[in-house]
Chains A and B, each alone.
Chain A
Amino acid sequence: MIEHVRDDADLVSRAAAGDMGAFESLVRAHTDAVYAHAYRFFGDAPAAQDATQEVWIKVFRSLEGFGSRAAFTTWLFRVTRNVCLDMLRSGRRTATPIDPVELHGIANDDTAGEAAGSVDLETAMRALSPEDREAFNAVALFGLPYSEAGSVLGVPAGTVKSRVFRARRALTTLLSLDARGGA
């Protein structure tokens, strides 16, 4: 496999200059992250597909103005988040409801074991607060540093750190990944 495919910045630069092949490379490289975030935001595939398409159209229309002010993934996460929020505000889609049962499982370590192992990752995701979930997505899906994620989410990097940690603790518990005190 080629190890030196041009990185995002170069692809963005080429795409902005009119290279559709470069833009297609960006789309293929990052569509899964965009889709996954939207899927977790809305909780259904059709909405996630609509959002993904809208995200890339916005990115395409804004390429020339993007420059290199930030990492492409930071910008992409910002666009993705805004598109999802806009779709929600416009009433076109509804957000994933939080599952209170799973939340109870996380809130109380004594009952966490009952929920643990009975859910898959996406079900467990629904147990997270929207704030924790999007912080986790920014870092885990888009690979953003805490500071960059914080700039998009409008919170300090330390808050991102706390949210991501909280999300990971909840997920590992619900997914029964935690060895829970093993030696």
Chain B
Amino acid sequence: MEMDCIRTQATLSAVHDKEHVTDENAEVARAHCAECGQCRAFAANLVALDALPAPLAPSDLADRVMVAVSAIAAEQSAGQQAVLPEDSNTASADTRPSSQRFEWFVGRNRWKGFGALAAAAAAVVVIAVVVSRAPAPQTAGIQTPSPEAAAPNLTFSNDASGKSAASAPAATPAPARAPDYLTYKARVYAPGSLLAGSTAATEPLGTVTTAFAGAGASTPVQAYRSPLADGSIVVPGPDGSRLYVPVARIFSSVRYQLVAGNAVDRFGLWPELPGRFPVPTSPDGSPTFTMAGGDMLGVQTYTAAGVPQSQGFAIAPGTPSTDPAGSNPNWTWWEPLVIP
């Protein structure tokens, strides 16, 4: 290869990377390319090379990353509570807007706006803490529905020595208020990040019906396709356009999203089972459901007759507040996540 070709192609490579090239070098390269087909081809090949796909991460890798990271966040939160026990008393006096109160499920937690996976991972950590530090009403493995498990919220308190200790106050009722859920096509979403800019250029989906945090009548609100293609949707609200992330859990490496049978048309309402499933009358799920295996968090799943578990499963009420189901007092139903 001629030295002029090497110099020209090096210049072309730098220009391709939007690096500064002197006018003189640019002119030399331009003049050379006018006479050299090989260098013109090289310029075209830079574009072709960019178009070749790099190795793509497995589709669930980001989910797994978030599970791991969220576990750490929950661990940090637990530690924070352990040294600041008085803060646990402030939750009931929380006067912040409801849109900022999604952090409730890990108690006093600076990590606001967790996605569903965050809650899932938090459950792993908190359950582990309980197992190692206090006699808990449930094991770290498969969760067996029981009267004790009906309210497995965890609190941390200081003993007389000032050391922190975990306890499982079975008497603690589930939160009366659900997170700031809304539903789109019966699937449940929780608030994510606010987005900058307008949604005018986005692709409209259907509508969600919600009053947000308001007490008035719910109204249809146009939802938009998320730029993240991760199952989230964009919904313009009182504080701007916000991503709403699917409330989801992982089973057999697949994300399953919470499906509501009732109208979750304002913040704070708990999703209920779809109407086709009668509410079980027994803690073992009967007569509607049959106990199946644990999900990624070791939480007991239940199958419905005629529905393969890959297509949906139920979760009993009374999961920890850190579970994706939250402390939902109702049975919940989960189906494979669909990208809207």
Contacts and interface: CB of A to CB of B under 8 A. Distances in A.
A22 interface: yes
Contact of A1 (B111, B202, B243): B202
Nearest to B201: A3
A110 B53 CA distance: 28
B225 A28 contact: no
Given A5-B196, A23-B69, A109-B1, A32 B54 contact: yes
B34 interface: no
Interface in B187-227: 191-199, 201-203, 224-227
Interface in A1-25: 1-6, 10-11, 14, 18-25
Contacts of A39: 55
Contact of A21 (B1, B44, B72, B245): B245
A155 to B, nearest CB: 15
Most buried by B among A2, A56, A145: A2
Contacts of B18: 145
A52 B65 contact: yes
Contacts of A10: 196
Given A4-B198, A180-B41, A20 B49 contact: no
Given A53-B64, A179-B38, A164 B69 contact: no
A161 B38 contact: no
Interface in A159-183: 161-162, 164-165, 168-169, 171-172, 175, 177-183
B38 A4 contact: no
B234 interface: yes
B54 A6 contact: no
A50 to B, nearest CB: 10
A183 B195 CA distance: 49
B62 A146 contact: no
Contacts of A40: 55
Interface residues of A, number: 61
A25 B57 contact: no
Given A32-B54, A121-B52, A1 B65 contact: no
A49 B58 contact: yes
Contacts of B191: 21
A65 to B, nearest CB: 14
A24 B192 contact: yes
Interface residues of B, number: 67
A89 B54 CA distance: 25
Most buried by A among B19, B42, B54, B196: B54
B55 A24 contact: no
A42 to B, nearest CB: 11
A53 B65 contact: yes
A122 interface: yes
A47 B48 CA distance: 29
A56 B54 CA distance: 19
B93 interface: no
A139 interface: yes
Given A18-B112, A177-B49, A181-B38, A27 B195 contact: no
B269 to A, nearest CB: 21
A10 B194 CA distance: 11
Nearest to B243: A21
Interface in A24-66: 24-25, 27-29, 31-36, 39-40, 45, 48-49, 52-53, 56-57, 60-61
Given A19-B112, A19-B193, A179-B45, A31 B54 contact: no
A53 B45 contact: no
A98 interface: no
Contacts of B109: 18
B110 interface: yes
**What 5 A-B pairs come out closest when comparing CB atoms?**
A4-B197, A179-B41, A21-B192, A35-B57, A21-B193
Given A14-B193, A24-B230, A109-B1, 20 more contacts: A4-B197, A5-B197, A6-B196, A20-B118, A24-B192, A25-B228, A28-B228, A35-B61, A48-B57, A49-B57, A56-B65, A56-B69, A57-B65, A146-B14, A161-B13, A165-B9, A168-B46, A168-B49, A172-B42, A182-B38
12 contacts: A3-B201, A27-B66, A33-B54, A48-B55, A60-B72, A145-B17, A145-B19, A146-B19, A161-B19, A172-B48, A175-B49, A181-B38
